[in-house]
Amino acid sequence: MPRSMTGFGRGEAKSSQGKVIVEIKTLNHRYFDIAFRLPNHFSLLEAKIRECIHRNIYRGRVNVSILYEGTKQPVENLSIDKNVAASYYRLLSQLKRQLRLTDQVRLEQIAAFPNVISYERASEDIDKLWSVVKKALIKALNKLEIARKAEGKNLTRDLRKRIRIIEKDIERIKERADGVVERHKARLDAKVKNILAGPELDKNRLATEVAIFAEHSDITEETVRAASHLAAFKKKLLIKEEVGRTLEFIIQELHREINTISAKASDYTISKNVIAIKGELEKIREQVQNIE
C-alpha cells in the first residue's frame, strides 16, 4: 500500500556524552529534498544522516532537527602552522612600515587569519556520537514510517472510492453511447423531412451522413482505454514501493481520454458524466500529489 509523503517522527537516545533528540518532518515534494538543523559539532555526521534517511524515504521534502542535551562535546585536536603565521607577520610588518603606522602587530590579528590555526575532531568521539545519533534517528524514522503508512492507508481508501465512482460513470457513458448514432439519425431524418416538407428524402445521402457521424462520434476505443487506465491505477495501489509519479502519469492519460470522449460524443447526458468524472479526477490528482 502506498505511503503518504507527510508525517512526523521523533526519537531519543542517551549515552555518556548526553542525550540526542531527533525530529523528522516530511512534506510532499516532487523530488527528494532534505534540510538540516544541527548543532555545530554534528556537521560531520550530515552525510551519514542523509544516507540513512534516503534509504527509507524516496521522495518528498524532509526537515531534520537534532537537539543535543549534554556538556561533553567531541574533542578537537588543534594545531598551529608556524610558517603561515610567520608569513602573515612579515607581510603585516612590511605593510606597517610602508604606511608609516605606529600600531603593533598583535598575536590575535595573526591567529585570526585563515590556515593559521586548524583543528580536526577526534574520530573516536565522532564514532561514539554517531552511534547515539543513529539510535535516535532510527527511532524517529520508525515512528515516521507508522505515520506515513497510516496516512497512506487513508489516501488509498479515498482514491479507491473515487475510482469506483469514475468506473460507474464510464459504464453509463458506454451504455448511453450505444444509442447516440440512432438518436442522431432520427434527428437528422426529422430535419430533412421538415426542410423538404414532404415524405420523400434521399436515403443514400442520409445513410452517408449517419455513417460519417458514427465514425466521428465513436468513443469505443476511448472508453476501453479509460477502463484500462483505471485498472492499472487500482493495481498500483497494491504496491508498497514508490508509485506517486506513476499514479500522476496514469491520471494524465485518463484525463486525456475523458477529454476526447467529451469532444467526440455530442450528447448532453454523456457531457454530464464527463463533467462528473473530471471533478473526481481533479480530487484524485490533488490526493496523488501527497503519495510517495
Task: Give, for all 292 residues of the chain, the pLDDT tens digit.
Answer: 789 999 999 999 988 777 999 999 999 998 899 999 998 778 889 999 999 999 999 899 999 999 988 755 554 566 788 888 899 888 888 888 888 888 888 888 888 888 887 765 555 567 888 899 999 999 999 999 999 999 999 999 999 999 999 999 999 988 887 766 566 555 655 555 554 555 555 566 555 655 555 555 678 888 899 999 999 999 999 987 789 999 999 999 999 999 988 887 777 888 899 999 999 999 999 999 999 9
| Same-domain pairing of 134 and 246 | no
Q: Is 212 exposed, middle or buried (0-12, 13-18, 19+ CB in 10 A)?
A: exposed
Model pLDDT, residue 269: 86
Q: Is 213 exposed, middle or buried (0-12, 13-18, 19+ CB in 10 A)?
A: middle
| Same-domain pairing of 165 and 202 | yes
Q: How many separate domains does the chain show?
A: 3
Q: Is 55 contained in some domain?
A: yes
| Same-domain pairing of 246 and 163 | yes
Contacts of 242 (CB under 8 A, 6+ apart): 58, 59, 292
Three-state secondary structure readout of 65-110: EEEEECCCCCCEEEEECHHHHHHHHHHHHHHHHHHCCCCCCCHHHH
Domain boundary among 112, 147, 182: 147
| Same-domain pairing of 127 and 175 | no
Domain boundary among 132, 147, 162: 147
Model pLDDT, residue 118: 72
Model pLDDT, residue 88: 86
| Same-domain pairing of 161 and 217 | yes
Model pLDDT, residue 110: 87
Q: Is 1 contained in some domain?
A: no
| Same-domain pairing of 264 and 205 | yes
The sign of the torsion formed by the CA atoms of 102, 108, 109, 115 equals positive
The sign of the torsion formed by the CA atoms of 146, 152, 153, 154 equals positive
| Same-domain pairing of 32 and 139 | yes
Q: Is 216 contained in some domain?
A: yes
Domain boundary among 96, 112, 147: 147
Q: Is 51 contained in some domain?
A: yes
Confirm if 258 and 274 have CB atoms less than 8 A apart: yes
CATH number at residue 24: 3.30.230
| Same-domain pairing of 203 and 250 | yes
**Cα separation of 35 and 41, whole Å?**
17
Structural domain span for residue 82? 76-121
Residue 144 CB neighbours (<10 A): 24
Q: Indicate the SS3 state at residue 85.
A: helix
The C-alpha R_g of the chain, in whole angstroms, comes to: 35
**Cα separation of 242 and 59, whole Å?**
8
| Same-domain pairing of 82 and 101 | yes
Quote the pTM value: 0.68
The sign of the torsion formed by the CA atoms of 169, 170, 176, 177 equals positive
| Same-domain pairing of 69 and 95 | no
Confirm if 118 and 81 have CB atoms less than 8 A apart: yes
What is the helix, strand, coil percentage profile of the chain, to 5?
Answer: 65, 15, 20
| Same-domain pairing of 138 and 17 | yes
Model pLDDT, residue 212: 53
**Cα separation of 190 and 62, whole Å?**
66
| Same-domain pairing of 46 and 178 | no
Q: Indicate the SS3 state at residue 30.
A: coil
**Cα separation of 119 and 105, whole Å?**
24
Q: Indicate the SS3 state at residue 115.
A: coil
